[in-house]
Amino acid sequence: MLSLNNVEVIYDGVILVLKGVSLGVREGGITTLLGANGAGKTTTLKAISGLLRSERGEVTKGSIEFGDARIDRLPPHDIVKRGIVQVFEGRRVFEHLTTEENLVAGAHIQADRRRVGEGIERVYGYFPRLRERRAVQAGYLSGGEQQMLVIGRALMANPHVMLLDEPSLGLAPMLVEEIFAIVQQMNRQERLTVLLVEQNAALALTIAEHGYVMENGRVVLEGTAEALRENADIKEFYLGLTEVGAKKSYRDVKHYKRRKRWLS
Amino acid sequence: MGDWQFFALLLSNGILIGLMYSLIALGFVLVYKATDAINFAQGEFVMIAGFVVVGFLISYGAPLWLSLVAALLAMIAFGFGLERAMLRKLIGRPIIAVVMATIGLAAVLRGLGPLLWGADTKPLVLPIGDEPILLEPLFIPPIQLVGATVSLLFLGLFGWFFLKSRKGIAMRAVADSQQVAMAMGINVERYFALAWAMTGVVSALGGVIWGNMLGVDVHLSLVGLKVFPVVILGGLDSIPGAIVGGLIVGVVENVAAGYIDPFVGGGTKDFAPYVVMIIALMVRPYGIFGKQIIERV
């Protein structure tokens, strides 16, 4: 339903960041995009949401299609109207607005006033803690609450597809699991399609059905979550397991460094 | 006249004048809040509005209501046009670029006003008389009363807009983070234009009121100089700050002029607000109500 075909992105006219990325996001599913820092995951999301231009980046080759239409030339507000909304990494709340005002701002494309109220109730349904903190300036919320708020705020736009960028960043493991459970719940209840960018590969692969691995601006591996979990390279480099499947220990003498099989 | 009566008179005048400063400062605050641009041409906006009104009144012989409507529309169009033609191109550039651009704009407008409408001081007459209203021990010029009322009305209106309306919330969202606002489907450029148009409205009102009090010529733009102490005192991005800052500046300059001028022969009015501003900068750099940078630890 959402697909990238051989997308190339250049920043500032000279820096080549994506070198021909192709991937597909299946309707109603959770797809994950894994990879180390600087692999181009966030850039891929920004290429989809049209936010590259505000950072002097540009899709120079390839196309991005949503439904039957090309969206890689549209301004960001048109892309949000078509039902794709991006949640930035690093919990970018509107700090000086209250929790509830953040949600109202998230519903900006919603023309009908009443639907805004319903949307707020829906978000409070998923994240009851936000209701208690509704009148607090968002800058003073805790990290977990801020992450809930940015996801809830994105939900206010009634999206078909949510681009979720590293929701686990800097949060306690228990909170991360809570948030992932809610994302999964939203996916099932609203048939919300999710493209999840994560560094926490183990967790991402438990809730996703399909995954892509990026390195150096390219997709190097793709497959079902199950296949990726079993892949020896993924185990070694992303899940921290050795070939035997036991946890890696520094007591064991390492005879050789495993080379990534996907690099030639 | 007793001491306290003299003081009460200075105080009441200061408050009324201060509210009119607040109105003009509001234009400055609106633009800074939404677009992060510092508009050094605020006073010139007011001057141009005054010129448009007297232009219609005197040169074309239009009735007063038509001249006021014309000034309002002209200033809205001016704000929109300016955003599109000049400021949109400066988005993402260093803040100094915008500052220098508005300073340049101010100089151009100061030249353009007299060029188009003539350099002589023109009266801007409003049908409200100039017989002061006597309220022992105060006497209040009617224009100050009208000006203060209009100012309060619009300050309230804009305050409501920002706090309660969805568009106002969106505008504050833009002020908070342009990129995140964009990701929420907010058309950021449209809100920039809206902010400049609002400044146009405020400037039109200011132009009429100050034009009536001072007469319309190039010196009308000096009103803009009073905007800086007002917004520094109140906080660059705060509407309540614009009100409080305006009141402080109005009262300070009137009281200072009333008590110090007899000894130094005048001029206190113009520098007293700046002295207060410098002190305020040392004590509270973001103003009384300014946006504090939130930092969680």
List pLDDT tens digits, range B162-175: 889 999 999 999 98
Whether residue B95 is contained in a domain is answered as: yes
Are B132 and B141 a contacting pair, CB within 8 Å?
yes
B161 contacts on A by Cβ (under 8 Å): none
Nearest Cβ partner for A94 among B92, B166, B176: B176
Nearest Cβ partner for B179 among A51, A75, A101: A51
Whether residue B290 is contained in a domain is answered as: no
pLDDT at A251: 61
Whether residue B130 is contained in a domain is answered as: no
Total Cβ atoms within 10 A of residue A38: 13
SS (H, E, C) A205-256: HHHCCEEEEEECCEEEEEEEHHHHHHCHHHHHHCCCECCCCCECCCCCCCCC
Are A212 and A33 a contacting pair, CB within 8 Å?
yes
Which residues between 177 and 236 in chain B have a beta carbon less than 8 angstroms from any beta carbon of chain A?
177-187
Q: Which domains does chain A have, with CATH numbers?
A: 2-230 (3.40.50.300)
**CATH code, domain carrying B249:** 1.10.3470
Residue showing tokens 């005197």 = B58
Is any Cβ of chain B less than 8 angstroms from the Cβ of A137?
yes
pLDDT at A264: 45
User: Distance between CA atoms of A226 and A236, rounded to whole angstroms?
Assistant: 16
Best probe of the A interface among B176, B188, B286, B293, by most A CBs < 10 A, is B176
Whether residue B178 is contained in a domain is answered as: yes
Range of the domain at B279: 3-117+142-283
**Cα three-residue angle B122-B127-B129, rounded to 5 degrees:** 90
Nearest Cβ partner for B173 among A94, A109, A139: A94
Task: State mean pLDDT over A86-94.
Answer: 93
Are B81 and B244 a contacting pair, CB within 8 Å?
no
> Tens of pLDDT along B237-259?
888 889 999 999 999 999 999 88
Q: Give the closest-approach CA distance of A189 to chain B in angstroms.
A: 22
User: Distance between CA atoms of A121 and A156, rounded to whole angstroms?
Assistant: 10
A143 contacts on B by Cβ (under 8 Å): 296
pLDDT at B281: 84
> Tens of pLDDT along B192-204?
999 999 999 999 9
Q: Give the closest-approach CA distance of B286 to chain A in angstroms.
A: 15
User: Distance between CA atoms of A240 and B263, rounded to whole angstroms?
Assistant: 82
A57 contacts on B by Cβ (under 8 Å): none
Nearest Cβ partner for A76 among B169, B183, B294: B183
Give percent above pLDDT 90 in chain A.
65
Are B126 and B145 a contacting pair, CB within 8 Å?
no
Total Cβ atoms within 10 A of residue A28: 14
Q: Which residue is closest to A47 within chain B, CA to CA?
A: B183
Ranges A78-92, B27-41, B264-278, most confident: A78-92
Total Cβ atoms within 10 A of residue B65: 8
User: Distance between CA atoms of B21 and B231, rounded to whole angstroms?
Assistant: 10
Q: Which residue is closest to A153 within chain B, CA to CA?
A: B184
Nearest Cβ partner for B184 among A95, A96, A106: A106
Given strand A193-198, what is the order of strands in its sheet? A84-87, A161-165, A193-198, A30-35, A210-215, A218-224
Whether residue B68 is contained in a domain is answered as: yes
Interstrand relation of A69-70 and A161-165 (parallel, antiparallel or unpaired) = unpaired
With H, G, I as helix, E, B as strand and everything else as coil, classify residue A66: strand
Is any Cβ of chain A less than 8 angstroms from the Cβ of B164?
no
- Give chain B's domain count: 1
Could A95 and B182 be called an inter-chain contact, meaning their C-beta atoms sit closer than 8 Å? no
The tokens describing A122, both together, are 């829906």
Q: Give the closest-approach CA distance of A78 to chain B in angstroms.
A: 7
Whether residue B260 is contained in a domain is answered as: yes
Whether residue B8 is contained in a domain is answered as: yes
Whether residue B15 is contained in a domain is answered as: yes
